[in-house]
Structure 1
Amino acid sequence: MEPIRRLRFFLSWTLLLLLGFVESDTPHLFFDWTVSYSQVSPLGVPKQVIVINDQFPGPVLNVTTNDVVNVNVLNKLTEPLLFTWNGVQQRKNSWQDGVQGTNCPIPPGQNWTYSFQVKDQIGSFFYFPSVLFQKAAGGYGAIRVNNRVVIPLPFPRPLQEFDVLIGDWYNADYRDLRVSLDKGIPLPQPDGILINGLAPYQANFAFRTGATYRLRISNVGLKTCLNFRIEGHLMLLVETEGSYTLQQYYQTLDIHVGQSYSVLVTANQKSGMSYHMVAVSRFSVPELAGAAVIHYPGSQGNSKGPLPTGPDPFDYRYSIEQARSIRWDLAVGAARPNPQGSFRYGLINVSRTIILENDMTVIGSRQRYTVNGISFVHSDTPLKLADYFQLGDVFAINAIPDKPDGRNPALGTSVMDLRYRDFIHIVFQNPLPTMQTWHFDGYNFFVVGMDEGKWDESKRLAYNMLDAVSRSTVQVYPNAWTAIMVELDNQGMWNFRSQDAEKWYLGQELYVRVKGEGQDDPSTVPARDELPIPTNVIRCGRAGSM
């Protein structure tokens, strides 16, 4: 590092400490993870699964608002590895995002420590490996971000919390699935549905009669929307991805790929009985079901009754109306004591409208997915490093248009420049007959509208500009649209992707660079705006010798 850049680095860290960006009394938590393979047979077929500290799913990351989290990852796989923290915002610290556009992967046999603060955040999330289609082999686990003790929960404290990880599962090796995708062969239907990494009826939950439990449910699968329900019990929805919701009861809940919800369940059934907890595939044939068992005191074996029924497998209107019913609770605090509704997003002027239209196409004889005509391909150098070191030949800013413009589909490295503190409007337009799910790393956004058909300006008249739920992952139904609004309050280079692992792997993603005015050289960004480059950063590609 040349002297002037070394001086900038030293001054950045000094300023960071002087500003108290991380307070001295803030708890620092340390976790050591060894990531390796293990032979597991979730559906009766032996498969090489990715485990963390010999656990599948991996250990729960149980933290509290404002904690500084340090996760030392030792990679004992035969391939490079990255973890991403799905929904955890990592304020002004995209250096820790853990996706291929921001981090060099951890080489086999080496370790790297993620370090980030869960600043001003609560909620239910999960982590997973983000490169080389490794998510199809497991490696995922739950994240809880708990309220500080000075911020009361907006509901009576439950007796116990359970993490419930639901998702589709393939018996095929993840490397074989990856090779098929590279050849342009789409994924087949999954072989089954797992709950907490276990086959039907293998996961068990103990309820005490009269007690209330909190279930933190995440769809950690590759591509399948799941409907979640519990025999004989209603679910009181209280939180989704860092937002407390208006408390409403649901008999069934559609949970799309990448989404997380918290529900309260009261054990109001008979002692000595068992009940089904199920996750059933939606919008696909054949219908697949994963099942767990809730045991009351004195119960033995599985439930004697049939699986609880749910909506018609292809009833999109039911799912849309349910999604619209999920609202922000304006009256309660979350990470801060002031009510969530004190941020009146509906009164903020929109500075830019972006329409992102996904599509499926063939490029070079292989199936690909595009956003506004561009199918994303990765450079050998992470975009974050290329931006920091001013490597001008890695990507071009604003190569992707704000709206679909009829261009011929092509491969490209899409990066969109957005201005810090702008408030923008994004419409996801889905012309395909399949579900889409979008995720924005580093951000929560307000889901202000969704419906079938094609979006146009007249649709704004029906937007929810008062209590739209704030979250980080949203669904777009077939031949339909979804509109969101977001304040760009988190500087950095952030991943914007399909949560469908197949679509993501085959190009349905882009990156956004959020920076302040006059900050054309990221190495000079003040520490109050974005954290400096980590001292332990892994360098690869064209940044390897910088």
Structure 2
Amino acid sequence: MPLSKLAALLFTTATLVALFAAIAEAENPYRFFEWNVTYAHRDLLGAHQQVILINGQFPGPDIEAVTNDNLIINVYNSLDEPFLLSWNGIQNRRNSYVDGVYGTTCPIPPGKNYTYILQVKDQIGSFYYFPSLAFHKAAGGFGGFRILSRPLIPVPFPDPAGDFTVLIGDWYARNHTDLRAILDRGHKLPFPDGILINGRGPNATTFTFEQGKTYRLRVSNVGLQNSLNFRIQGHKLKLVEVEGTHTLQNTYSSFDLHPGQSSSFLVTADQPPQDYFFVVSTRFTNPVITTTGIVHYSNSNQGPSGPIPGGPTIQIDWSLNQARSIRTNLTASGPRPNPQGSYHYGMINTTRTIRLANSAGQVNGKQRYAVNSVSFVPADTPLKLADYFNIPGVYKVNSISAAPTGGGIYLDTSVLQTDYRTFIEIVFENNEDILQSWHLDGYAFFVVGMDGGQWTPASRNQYNLRDGVFRSTVQVYPFSWSAIYIPLDNVGMWNLRSEFWARQYLGQQLYLKVFTTSTSLRDEYPIPKNALLCGKAAGRRTRPFGFYRH
């Protein structure tokens, strides 16, 4: 980046930080990031294709923070089209304006920059960031995002000898623009061409272990559509954390990660000194795609031997039972020293039940995907900006039903309003023969139940009301349901979406508007002073008083 441009960016960042520091919650450290987003060409899976780099890296650099840190991330868009970054699992307390999806945030124009100001308030754990616009996720632009516990807050396992980010995902050996054109023409995507581990193909990724030591692997499925199983030849995986929640430390020989999900494992190098296969394969597909990396013992002079260890095949029950075994560690601390189990969610009465069913079909001869029969179409203005400026005609509140309608698919900008400080139940109903994966921005939720068949009120009899895992992404098995409980404690406009990225792109998403009449800063931060304005909000002026309008 030219020195003049870099100097301008540094000045912009310094100015924003000075403003923010005067009014943000005090005494929490600041961490600064300067990122340049560019295209480059890489040889992946036998094809020469265009990928998205951040600071020349694919995948992008890790973000490492500590609970309550303030993050100042200045992103310069050197692509030839608008660009947005979103933060998968980061809750952006009281500030959906910087969520990084088009319903809340204007994209960064080509040749321009934007400074995201986030606080990882009361969070720990393993997450990732990714580009949310224009099917850019199929080109990269993603990276790991880890939040460490504050000093003196106990963690329920000894410090590992090393801490690895492991980004796994299915991949196409063609440019994202070609894939986007297929979807825009109203067609389904073909089957992926392979799987990448940290942006590399078979046997190109190596993790080095010292014999006898224990390592932490933070594994995220950043792919476009497939559930993935991973395993390490001859080694056990001890699950310790899922998307910010310490879990019961169950041990697995292999583990399923569904699209959008992140988990942490401890692996001990307790085998004879040689190299071992790190294996990732697709689940519930025919054919099965498999790729490998290498776990290298530092005192080894022998490569991996023997057959690649096989994983589960098509079995859904195996995966369902594994999912049910993931429980919260009620004796562990979270971001604060009080036990995670102090939140007795099973003793709180829910005030509302929302049922959401996914479906697929044709609209005007083109492939679309829907939730409760509504296939989401983006408005010409981010919904959150329309709220701030009171711009009419951008969207209608409750433009989607809170229960399946059974009708045909139609197009709308679907927004479902809910009340702040209520405790609700959402049931995801999957009547299709694919596994579905759902993510809610700005929130984590309690996974209280999942099973095959149709959900009924009697299904609540089997809910886990004691130690269900608290996370932000949940899978729904074919012809099955999953139920979650959510304390609506984060005001804003939040994206609820399929993590199957072609389905999200073609309408399988909505926005959950968590509403209050309060104008207190304790409830929601107003629009940032540096907010990008576009659509019908272009050219308008935010109110003066720093970052806040009150």
The reply to whether TM is greater than 0.5 is yes
Give the SS at the match of 2:387. helix
Q: CA deviation at 1:407?
A: 3.3
Q: What's the counterpart of residue 152 of structure 1? A: 154
Asked whether the 8 Å contact 2:211–2:299 carries over to 1, the reply is no
Say which SS state the counterpart of residue 459 (structure 1) adopts. helix
Q: Which amino acid aligns with 1:58?
A: G
Q: Which residue is equivalent to 2:379? A: 379
> 1:442 & 1:435 partners in 2: Cα distance?
23
Provide the secondary structure at the position in 2 that maps to 1:308: coil
Per-residue displacement from partner, 1:92-141 (whole Å, max 9, x unpaired)?
Answer: 11011000100110000000000010000000000000000000001100
Taking the TM superposition and a 5 Å limit, the aligned residue runs for 1:28-43 are 28-43=30-45
Identity within the alignment, %: 52
Q: Partners in 2 of 1:181 and 1:300 — Cα distance? A: 48
Cα deviation for residue 301 of structure 1 reads 6.1
Alpha-carbon distance between aligned partners in 2 of 1:238 and 1:88, rounded to the nearest angstrom: 19
2:201 is the counterpart of 1:207: no
User: Would you say how many aligned residue pairs link Structure 1 and Structure 2?
Assistant: 524
Match of 1:120 among 105, 110, 122: 122
Find the counterpart in structure 2 of residue 476 from structure 1.
476
1:513 equivalent in structure 2: 513
Cα distance in 1 between the residues matched to 2:95 and 2:152: 26
Taking the TM superposition and a 5 Å limit, the aligned residue runs for 1:181-220 are: 181-220=183-222
CA contact (8 A) 1:201 1:302 kept: no
Structure 2 Cα separation of the partners of residues 429 and 21 of structure 1: 41
Contact kept in structure 1, 2:332 and 2:340, CA below 8 Å: yes
Aligned equivalent of 1:529:
523
Report the Cα offset of residue 182 of structure 1. Answer: 1.0
Which one-letter code corresponds to 2:189 in the other structure?
L
Aligned to 1:252: 254
Which of 122, 125, 133 aligns to 1:131? It is: 133
Q: CA deviation at 1:377?
A: 0.2
State the Cα distance separating 1:513 from its structure 2 match.
Answer: 1.0
Range moving further from structure 2, 131-140 or 36-45 = 36-45
Q: Does 1:22 align with 2:22?
A: no
Amino acid at match of 1:360: A
Q: Can you list the C-alpha shifts for 1:44-68, whole angstroms capped at 9, x where unaligned?
A: 2100100000000000001110000
Q: Is the 1:21–1:528 contact (alpha carbons within 8 Å) kept by the matching residues of 2?
A: no
1:414 equivalenced with 2:414 (yes/no): yes
Asked whether the equivalents of residues 59 and 141 of structure 1 are also in contact (C-alpha less than 8 Å), the reply is: yes
Matched AA of 2:334: A
1:311 aligns with 312
Aligned residue in 2 for 1:65 = 67
2:280: which partner in 1? 279
| 2:323 match: secondary structure | helix
Kindly report which structure 2 residues correspond to 1:415-454, keeping only aligned pairs within 5 A, or say none.
Answer: 415-454=415-454
Unmatched runs of 5 consecutive residues or more in structure 1: 1-12, 520-524
Contact 1:446 1:468 in 2 (8 A): yes
Q: Does 2:322 align with 1:322?
A: yes
Deviation at residue 299 of structure 1 after TM alignment:
2.5
Counterpart residue number, 1:487? 487
Q: Is the 8 A contact 1:278 1:289 kept in 2?
A: yes
- One-letter amino acid matched to 1:354: I
Q: Structure 1: how far apart are the matches of 2:211 and 2:172?
A: 37
- Residue of structure 2 aligned with 1:231, choices 225, 230, 233: 233
In structure 2, do the counterparts of structure 1 residues 61 and 487 end up closer, same or farther at CA, with 3 Å as the change threshold? same
Identify the residue that residue 296 of structure 2 maps to in structure 1. Answer: 295
Note the C-alpha offset of 1:250.
0.5
- Are 2:462 and 1:462 aligned? yes
CA contact (8 A) 1:350 1:423 kept: yes
- C-alpha distance in structure 2 between counterparts of 1:125 and 1:289, whole Å: 24
* 1:545 Cα deviation after fit: 2.6
Partner of 1:293, secondary structure, is strand
Deviation of 1:409 after TM superposition, in Å, equals 1.6
Q: Give, as a single letter, the amino acid of the residue that structure 2 aligns with 1:537.
A: A
Q: Give the 3-state SS of the residue equivalent to 2:47 in structure 1.
A: coil
SS of equivalent to 2:250? strand
Matched position secondary structure for 2:346? helix
Q: TM-score, normalised by structure 2?
A: 0.94
